[in-house]
Amino acid sequence: MATFADIGLAAGINILTALVFLIAFAILRLQPINDRVYFPKWYLKGLRSSPTHSGAFVTKFVNMDWRSYIRFLNWVPDALKMPEPELIDHAGLDSAVYLRIYLLGLKIFVPVALLAWAILVPVNWTNNTLAVSKATDRLQYSNIDKLSISNIAHGSPRFWTHIVMAYAFTFWTCFTLRKEYETVANMRLHFLASERRRPDQFSVLVRNVPPDNDETVTESVEHFFLVNHPDTYLTHQVVINANKLAKLVKEKKSKQNWLDYYQIKYSRNQSTRPVAKTGFLGLCGEKVDAIDYQTAEIERLSKEIAEERERVKTDPKCIMPAAFVSFKTRWGAAVCAQTQQSRNPTLWLTEWASEPRDVYWDNLAIPYVSLSIRRLIIAVAFFFLTFFFIIPVTIVQSFANVEGIEKRAPFLRPIIEVPFIKSLIQGVLPGIALKIFLIVLPSILMMMSKVEGYLSISSLERRAAMRYYIFNFINVFLVSVVAGTALEQLDSFLKMSANEIPEIIGVAIPMKATFFITYVMVDGWAGVAGEILRIKPLVIFHLKNFFLVKTEKDREAAMDPGSIGFNTGEPQIQLYFLLGLVYAVVTPIFLPFILVFFALAYIVFRHQIINVYNQEYESAAAFWPSVHGRIISALVFSQLVLMGLMSTKGNARFTPILIVLPVLTIFFHRFCKGRYEPAFVRYPLQEAMMKDTLERAREPNLNLKGYLQDAYIHPVFKNDDDDDDYEDNFNGKSDDNVLVPTKRQSRRNTPAPSKMSGASSPSLPDVVPEEL
């Protein structure tokens, strides 16, 4: 039974941690040497250049201007100042709408918190049920419980307040959700409408082109669309299976990094030429001269790449039965993407082409039947992952003890037997397998989405986010509320009636309030403050800078701006929505903690999005329907739990009143789905026609074919033929978007734009040699 003092202590510690992080950040970001870690977005935009160009030697690395330290919290108003339209221009609609999720949290929970504290807290507090039961049953309770629903007597008429509040909260949440859905849908449509010409506006991805003995795929595609879309078909680009080529190119890049590393090492210490082992991870195998070895390897790979490139271009086996088909008008593309082409609905599947940089090339060649089998397998795999992951983790943990390590790696014995290290290992190891599992979980989920065959990075992330949310809901939320592993719970829930489950959860909810308050403070407050520090990118950047960077271009490549990380970030926010909605009626004291999280996270992520993150793709907020859907499901869950709780409080008569809530909420969801979702999955012909007409009037002599010709070539071809060409081409869109630099963005504006752009940032992490 935590008291106010306990909570206060925990809050103090976490506020302190958060403050330390924020101060550390405020200091570190002012050091010129860290400039590329904390402002990479501006470098990528070409609006900021390395501070090494000017000034004294010391000031290159350390900021000696004491005045700048006084204004160390300036980043907060800076982050908030940029207006939304400019933010959309600067970072894309995805990022701007992502921030709106935090804002939505504030919009929902600020009035809910005010109402709850104005009405529910007094109603709970002025009761004396707990005091009475303390006197009679010697039941321990704390002040926090006095504020919660637990302080209301069994069957008391005061529960009417809670019912009315549940209705009020539901209506407010739905009202806000609807308004937000409308806003986001309009933002999306406006964004799409105001965009300059982009290849994906004219293009459709066609899959499952049926094989034809007399025609090649490209002939077959051309004939089909010439016949069935005679007025609008323009050109097409067949998809080539260049996965092996891409792998070779990636390998060459990694070897090149190693070569750089050894060369720098050698140039610093010319007495000994670096040596390396050729075997697994450089740990075993024969010793060779590292520079010679890597040079030879790179040569070998270059040759192989050239061969493979030739083979891919000529071998018909590498031509996939898929193509990007481009049309003369947006109208033509919109029509083709939304209609069924062939009698057999599994052939000639058409859908909107994603942005070129959003395309996930590896999955373009998966046939239809295989797709449904893959989904089945992944669904089963995810079920087992969610409910049985604890088993392999436990097995690994049973091996990972000191004796186990000594047995398997006897050479480590002398080190391990040192008492301090031994106790350290024994203290850390038991949890480490679980920790590692949780760290790699997002990657596992991402891999699952890839196996399922989604075609764009954005849809992969959306899918992974959904799975991550479900995993969190079961293994973080439910497991914390009801004791026992997920598997045990599945077993016990299966044996319970549909009535009992909400009761069990409902009764446990108020008791776990303090646990979740602590969770919010650790994960939400300190965690978000830690996010702004960017410790990992900071360390990696400086390591790279020291070991690999030879030219200015290398330094640009060493920056790791990262991205929002929708697949991990959004499920985290959703967990807070769930907690907030569940506790709103039950334990209103919980709400301020959630509010602090939403406010802090909003500021931090706004700062990061403006200064750091470089989004890899632009899906025009295609994720909003799932965000909306998950909040709705959390709302329904909270209503069911409240129903369960009420029925154990001797208020079964409230059940019919409360059951109306989920019914209405689901109805509201269906209404929103019908009203707003089409804006996220279809493209209205009216819009397309309007843009076509405008464009025809503005640029009557546009050579669209030239523009679209190479838009959808596998990046590996563009990348290697001519690096500069590739990037120019790739950024065709952002070049179109004339970017007006504003004053507040950067201290040192450079007029010449940088060549580097976000397009290649996905491959950046791979540049790091694994052992660095």
Positions 679 through 738 that interact with a copy of itself (CB under 8 A): 679, 682-687, 689
Identity of the residue, 329 or 757, whose beta carbon is nearer to a copy of itself in the bound complex: 329
**What phi and psi, each to the nearest 5 degrees, are found at residue 344?**
-80, 110
Provide, rounded to whole angstroms, the least separation between the CB of residue 181 and a copy of itself.
12
Provide, rounded to whole angstroms, the least separation between the CB of residue 369 and a copy of itself.
8
Q: Could you give the CA distance from residue 256 to residue 551 in angstroms, rounded to a whole number? A: 14
Identity of the residue, 336 or 713, whose beta carbon is nearer to a copy of itself in the bound complex: 336
Identity of the residue, 504 or 526, whose beta carbon is nearer to a copy of itself in the bound complex: 504
Identity of the residue, 215 or 727, whose beta carbon is nearer to a copy of itself in the bound complex: 215
Identity of the residue, 600 or 672, whose beta carbon is nearer to a copy of itself in the bound complex: 672
Which residues in 10-24 are b (16+ Cβ under 10 Å) and which e? bbeebeebbeebbee
Provide, rounded to whole angstroms, the least separation between the CB of residue 684 and a copy of itself.
5
Query: Does 674 contact a copy of itself by CB under 8 A?
Result: yes
User: Cβ–Cβ contacts within 10 Å for residue 170, how many?
Assistant: 23
The pairing of strands 203-207 and 287-289 is unpaired
Positions 344 through 373 that interact with a copy of itself (CB under 8 A): 345-346, 348, 368-369, 372
Helix (H, G, I), strand (E, B) or coil at 32: helix
Task: Compute, in degrees rounded to 10, the torsion defined by CA atoms 518, 524, 530, 531.
Answer: 160
Taking a C-beta distance cutoff of 8 angstroms, is the pair 502, 5 a contact? Answer: no
User: Cβ–Cβ contacts within 10 Å for residue 388, how many?
Assistant: 14
Residue in 179, 287, 413, 675 binding a copy of itself, rule: CB under 8 A: 675
Identity of the residue, 322 or 679, whose beta carbon is nearer to a copy of itself in the bound complex: 679
Locate tokens 């752009």: which residue? 757
Identity of the residue, 63 or 350, whose beta carbon is nearer to a copy of itself in the bound complex: 350
Provide, rounded to whole angstroms, the least separation between the CB of residue 323 and a copy of itself.
16
Residue in 54, 74, 216, 228 binding a copy of itself, rule: CB under 8 A: 228
Provide, rounded to whole angstroms, the least separation between the CB of residue 651 and a copy of itself.
17
Identity of the residue, 41 or 330, whose beta carbon is nearer to a copy of itself in the bound complex: 330
Provide, rounded to whole angstroms, the least separation between the CB of residue 372 and a copy of itself.
5
Provide, rounded to whole angstroms, the least separation between the CB of residue 337 and a copy of itself.
9
Q: Could you give the CA distance from residue 189 to residue 691 in angstroms, rounded to a whole number? A: 12
Residue in 229, 357, 450, 606 binding a copy of itself, rule: CB under 8 A: 229
Identity of the residue, 251 or 677, whose beta carbon is nearer to a copy of itself in the bound complex: 677
Residue in 315, 671, 694, 722 binding a copy of itself, rule: CB under 8 A: 671
Identity of the residue, 179 or 303, whose beta carbon is nearer to a copy of itself in the bound complex: 179
- Residue of 718, 726, 767, 746 whose CA lies nearest to 557: 767
Identity of the residue, 441 or 504, whose beta carbon is nearer to a copy of itself in the bound complex: 504
Locate tokens 């030429």: which residue? 273
Identity of the residue, 190 or 435, whose beta carbon is nearer to a copy of itself in the bound complex: 190
Provide, rounded to whole angstroms, the least separation between the CB of residue 383 and a copy of itself.
10
The pairing of strands 319-327 and 203-207 is antiparallel
Identity of the residue, 231 or 286, whose beta carbon is nearer to a copy of itself in the bound complex: 231
Positions 493 through 532 that interact with a copy of itself (CB under 8 A): 493-500
Provide, rounded to whole angstroms, the least separation between the CB of residue 449 and a copy of itself.
18
The one-character DSSP state at 219 is H
Taking a C-beta distance cutoff of 8 angstroms, is the pair 254, 769 a contact? Answer: yes
Q: Could you give the CA distance from residue 588 to residue 531 in angstroms, rounded to a whole number? A: 28
**What phi and psi, each to the nearest 5 degrees, are found at residue 73?**
-100, 10
Region of 17-25, 104-112, 314-322, 675-683 interacting with a copy of itself (CB under 8 A): 675-683
- Residue of 457, 361, 246, 356 whose CA lies nearest to 712: 356
Identity of the residue, 523 or 687, whose beta carbon is nearer to a copy of itself in the bound complex: 687
Provide, rounded to whole angstroms, the least separation between the CB of residue 692 and a copy of itself.
10
Taking a C-beta distance cutoff of 8 angstroms, is the pair 78, 744 a contact? Answer: yes
Identity of the residue, 300 or 670, whose beta carbon is nearer to a copy of itself in the bound complex: 670
* Total binding residues toward a copy of itself, as defined by CB under 8 A: 49
Region of 320-328, 359-367, 531-539, 677-685 interacting with a copy of itself (CB under 8 A): 677-685
For residue 655, what are its two tokens?
């059940």
For 330, 339, 458, 462, 528, the CA distances from 683, given in Å and listed in that order, are 10, 12, 18, 20, 37
Query: Does 656 contact a copy of itself by CB under 8 A?
Result: no
Region of 95-103, 228-236, 282-290, 306-314 interacting with a copy of itself (CB under 8 A): 228-236
Provide, rounded to whole angstroms, the least separation between the CB of residue 328 and a copy of itself.
12
For 219, 315, 377, the CA distances from 213, given in Å and listed in that order, are 11, 16, 33
Identity of the residue, 313 or 375, whose beta carbon is nearer to a copy of itself in the bound complex: 375
Q: Which amino acid would we find at residue 132? A: V
Element (H, E) at 276: strand 275-277
Positions 320 through 349 that interact with a copy of itself (CB under 8 A): 331, 334-335, 338-343, 345-346, 348
Query: Does 430 contact a copy of itself by CB under 8 A?
Result: no
Contacts of 568 (CB under 8 A, 6+ apart): 442, 465, 468
Query: Which residues make beta-bridge pairs with 207?
Result: 349
Query: Does 380 contact a copy of itself by CB under 8 A?
Result: yes
Q: Could you give the CA distance from residue 129 to residue 404 in angstroms, rounded to a whole number? A: 54
Taking a C-beta distance cutoff of 8 angstroms, is the pair 637, 578 a contact? Answer: yes
Identity of the residue, 409 or 652, whose beta carbon is nearer to a copy of itself in the bound complex: 652
Q: Could you give the CA distance from residue 547 to residue 125 in angstroms, rounded to a whole number? A: 62
DSSP strand E in 505-590: where? none
Provide, rounded to whole angstroms, the least separation between the CB of residue 362 and a copy of itself.
22
Q: Could you give the CA distance from residue 76 to residue 132 in angstroms, rounded to a whole number? A: 49
User: Cβ–Cβ contacts within 10 Å for residue 527, how many?
Assistant: 19
Residue in 194, 667, 702, 755 binding a copy of itself, rule: CB under 8 A: 667
Q: Could you give the CA distance from residue 659 to residue 499 in angstroms, rounded to a whole number? A: 12
Provide, rounded to whole angstroms, the least separation between the CB of residue 494 and a copy of itself.
5
**What phi and psi, each to the nearest 5 degrees, are found at residue 204?**
-130, 140
**What is the number of alpha carbons within 13 Å of residue 707 lying toward its C-beta?**
21
Provide, rounded to whole angstroms, the least separation between the CB of residue 737 and a copy of itself.
22
Provide, rounded to whole angstroms, the least separation between the CB of residue 216 and a copy of itself.
20
Total residue length of the chain: 772
Taking a C-beta distance cutoff of 8 angstroms, is the pair 506, 496 a contact? Answer: no
Positions 168 through 207 that interact with a copy of itself (CB under 8 A): 189
For residue 722, what are its two tokens?
């001519």
Identity of the residue, 160 or 667, whose beta carbon is nearer to a copy of itself in the bound complex: 667
Provide, rounded to whole angstroms, the least separation between the CB of residue 57 and a copy of itself.
58
Region of 210-218, 295-303, 527-535, 664-672 interacting with a copy of itself (CB under 8 A): 664-672
Residue in 678, 721, 722, 755 binding a copy of itself, rule: CB under 8 A: 678
Region of 163-171, 221-229, 422-430, 503-511 interacting with a copy of itself (CB under 8 A): 221-229
- Residue of 683, 617, 678 whose CA lies nearest to 192: 683
Taking a C-beta distance cutoff of 8 angstroms, is the pair 492, 484 a contact? Answer: yes
Query: Does 384 contact a copy of itself by CB under 8 A?
Result: no
Q: Could you give the CA distance from residue 271 to residue 109 in angstroms, rounded to a whole number? A: 66
Contact residues for a copy of itself, defined by CB under 8 A: 189, 224, 227-229, 231, 331, 334-335, 338-343, 345-346, 348, 368-369, 372, 375-376, 380, 493-500, 663, 667, 670-671, 674-679, 682-687, 689
